[in-house]
Amino acid sequence: MLEPKFAQIKQHIISKIKSAQWEEHSKIPSENEFAEQFSVSRMTARRALTELCEAGVLTRNQGLGTFVASFKSQSSLLEIRNIADEVKERGGQYSCLPITLESMSAIAPIAIALGVEIDSQVYHSVLVHLENEIPLQVEERFVNPEFAPDYLQQDFELTTPHEYLCKAAPLTEAKHTVEAISPNAEMCNWLALYNEEPCLQVIRRTWSSNGIVSFTRLVSPGSKYRLGGHLTFKRNK
């Protein structure tokens, strides 16, 4: 069965980027040029470019054209770091307690977040990250099996999901939502909280060059974890 034309255009663009024929920040052909090359309507070509822009592979500049995006696994404010490295840098002893590792049918919110069909199979994990045997963070992650087929076979007591996914599907983009929450009883149990201490919750989606890789919820006690960032501002001359 032949792929739809818009999917063929997407694959063509991705192959050009992967082979380094089109490098970061380089301008790519226009919608009209793709439409002519693949003998399709401009609307079909636009769909291909739009989906790759939404996935973080391309970026558009009004009036200038479409360009290959910068592939950096961080947002403008929050750097994505491996929690095991953070703990070790502080001189602590990192460990992990796996709670859940399973394949499941994607309900609507998960399917939408991962860009897959409802009821399709996705991977689901719940891990507790510990520092000096004290719970530091609960990580609940949903993964698209297409980009990380061996996810459930990993020993997460030896490697973190972040480490595995960076190798299996190198990250190109991440989007975050950060908020304070009141943990439920299950979360209090995982984090060994004996009162209703406010927690910090980070919701994160990550992309590789081919699409959305994972949708993750990170929950940490407010007294044990914080987020920081560094911004550099240029002076106007």
Same domain, 113 and 211: yes
Considering the domain boundaries, does residue 75 fall inside one?
no
- State the pTM of this model: 0.64
Full domain range(s) for residue 217: 83-221
Cβ neighbourhood burial of 86 (10 Å; 0-12, 13-18, 19+): middle
Q: What is the CATH number of the domain that holds 93?
A: 3.40.1410.10
pLDDT at 110: 92
Is 48 among the domain residues?
yes
> Is there a single domain that holds both residue 123 and residue 204?
yes
> Which regions of the chain does DSSP assign to beta strands (E)?
58-61, 65-68, 94-105, 121-131, 134-143, 173-181, 199-208, 211-221
Of 68, 93, 118, which one is at a domain's C-terminal end?
A: 68
**Residues 126 and 213 both lie in one domain:** yes
In a domain, 78, yes or no: no
Amino acid 227: pLDDT: 58
pLDDT at residue 233 in the model: 47
Does residue 96 share a domain with residue 22?
no
The verdict on residue 25 lying in a domain is: yes
The reply to whether 230 falls in a domain is no
Q: Specify if 185 maps to a domain.
A: yes
Is there a single domain that holds both residue 14 and residue 96? no
Listing from the earlier edge strand, what are the strands of the sheet with 134-143?
Answer: 94-105, 121-131, 134-143, 211-221, 199-208, 173-181
Number of domains in the chain: 2
Mind listing the pLDDT tens digit of every residue in the chain (237 residues)? 577 888 899 889 988 887 878 887 889 999 999 999 999 999 999 999 988 887 667 888 878 899 987 654 333 345 567 888 888 876 788 999 999 999 999 999 899 899 899 999 999 999 999 988 989 999 999 999 999 999 999 999 999 999 999 999 988 888 888 888 999 999 999 999 877 788 989 999 999 988 999 999 999 888 766 555 544 444 444
- Assigned domain for 131 exists: yes
Q: Supply the CATH number for residue 32's domain.
A: 1.10.10.10
pLDDT at residue number 214: 95
Give residue 231's pLDDT: 43
Residues 53 and 137 reside in one and the same domain: no
What integer pLDDT is reported at residue 195 of this predicted model? 72
